Amino acid sequence: MNSIDKIELIGMNIGELEDFASRLGQPRFRGRQLHRWIYVKDTSSFYEMSDLPRQVRQQFDDRARISIPRVLKQRVASDGTRKFLMEMNDKKRVETVLIPQSRDLNGRYTLCVSSQVGCPLRCAFCATGQGVFQRNLAAHEIVGQFLGSRRELKRRLKNPEEPLITNVVYMGMGEPLLNLTEVIHSIRILNDPRGIQLGQRHITISTCGEATGILRLAEEDLQITLAISLHAADDQLRDELVPINKKYPLAALMTAVKKYVEKTGRRVTFEYIMLDGVNISRKDAENLAKLVKPLLANINLIPYNEVDGLLYRKPEAQDVQAFCNWLKAAGLNVSVREEHGGDIEAACGQLAVKQS
Ligand code: SAH
């Protein structure tokens, strides 16, 4: 059988894997074995599945595949952040970033996954938006980034049985809400209590303000965190920085976010990139406070990370602090995002891949 015609098993839940086994004339518990090999053991080869009889491994391999993306390259930053270049079956490539929550190699990690190959939205300050949009990722390719990263990490650890990756953020390449069906499917798989077991509250989706997607997401009844890349609190500036604002201006975006908060009861996060001399004046802080105050929300400030070929500048530390203080004085819940992996171009907004 041509490998293209094989059935992809990543993305299937236990019931679907049981059905798969049973369609091949195998007992249903073989599906549960597959489930464990895929989602607990990060195995992509049927021949490593030691509790399956040899001819069953062969039979599964003839009909199916487990496409954990190939890690073509990995770079490690001075702070321990790892950036993986991952290749999909059709040779398309994305980047995935593994961020340690502490200095301890055996500690916990947050994984930043990509949801698209490239991005169609072209935000002015973002490296991904400078390249060409190629396609959406399938749910199995998103979950595959998790399995592939965890497998790489386990190879380096003494005690690989501990929970390693405890948080997943959809903040890599692409706009997740333009690929919502696959993104939601991937969340259900990450969240499966018999598989990867990632709590929904440990999952964050970041959107540049795809208002229709926000409303659709609200209907899903998920306990994940929604982050909105706001970056400007007036329409004129936001049109420039985040072009999707022309389609969904601030009024439309904020109405959608308000509905989301009402429907889910979840506190949202507004991300705000800080560009020196562009969006961090006192007036900008006042506009931002006015816009966000009525909502149940946190603000996460992201000092700009350098992108080759772009002219924006990171603000001085004292300007970051001043902006932060104005917002706090206005009664907002504010934090400043720590930069990770800046020395290997793995920080927010620095992900870009040339396709071969
Ligand atoms: N498309 C989604 C997911 C990307 S998340 C979104 O826009 O939210 C990546 C986060 O990093 C977003 O908040 C994005 O606006 C921000 N970002 C992009 N380029 C950046 C840069 N050069 N420096 C700092 N943050 C950046």
The fraction of the chain above a pLDDT of 70, given in percent, is 97
Place of tokens 């041509």: 2
Q: Whose CA is nearest to atom 13 of ligand 1?
A: 229
> pLDDT of 94-143, one tens digit each?
999 999 998 887 789 999 999 999 999 999 999 999 999 999 999 999 99
Distance 57 CA to ligand 1 centre (A): 43
Whole-number pLDDT of residue 328: 97
Mean pLDDT computed over every residue of the chain: 95
Q: Is residue 200 pLDDT above 90, yes or no?
A: yes
Q: Do domains 3-65 and 73-344 have the same CATH topology?
A: no
Average pLDDT over residues 319-329: 97
Q: Is residue 70 pLDDT above 80, yes or no?
A: yes
Whole-number pLDDT of residue 355: 81
Average pLDDT over residues 307-326: 96
Distance 175 CA to ligand 1 centre (A): 10
Distance 6 CA to ligand 1 centre (A): 36
Whole-number pLDDT of residue 145: 98
Distance 154 CA to ligand 1 centre (A): 28
Instruction: Give the residues surrounding ligand 1 with Cβ less than 6 Å away.
Output: 123, 125-126, 171, 175, 206-208, 229, 271, 273, 302, 304-305, 307, 348-349
> Does residue 208 carry a catalytic annotation?
no
Most informative mutation of 115, 170, 208, 229 for ligand 1 (most atoms within 8 A of CB)? 229
Whole-number pLDDT of residue 124: 97
Q: Does CATH number 1.10.150.530 belong to domain 3-65?
A: yes
Per-residue pLDDT band for 356 (boundaries 50, 70, 90) equals low
- Name the active-site residue from 18, 95, 141, 175: 95
Global model pTM greater than 0.85: yes
Whole-number pLDDT of residue 3: 63
* Domain regions of the chain by residue span: 3-65, 73-344
> Does residue 141 carry a catalytic annotation?
no
Average pLDDT over residues 276-305: 96
Q: Which residue has the higher pLDDT, 155 or 25?
A: 25
The fraction of the chain above a pLDDT of 90, given in percent, is 91
HEC string for the chain: CCHHHCEECCCCCHHHHHHHHHHCCCCCHHHHHHHHHHHCCCCCCHHHCCCCCHHHHHHHHHHEECCCCEEEEEEECCCCCEEEEEECCCCCEEEEEEEECCCCCCCCEEEECCCEECCCCCCCCCHHHHCCCCEECCHHHHHHHHHHHHHHHHHCCCCCCCCCEEEEEECCCCCHHHHHHHHHHHHHHHHCCCCCCCCHHHEEEEECCCHHHHHHHHCCCCCCEEEEECCCCCHHHHHHHCHHHHCCCHHHHHHHHHHHHHHHCCCEEEEEEECCCCCCCHHHHHHHHHHHCCCCEEEEEEECCCCCCCCCCCCCHHHHHHHHHHHHHCCCEEEECCCCCHHHCCCCCCCCCCCC
Q: Does CATH number 3.40.50.150 belong to domain 73-344?
A: no
Per-residue pLDDT band for 232 (boundaries 50, 70, 90) equals very high
Average pLDDT over residues 219-246: 97
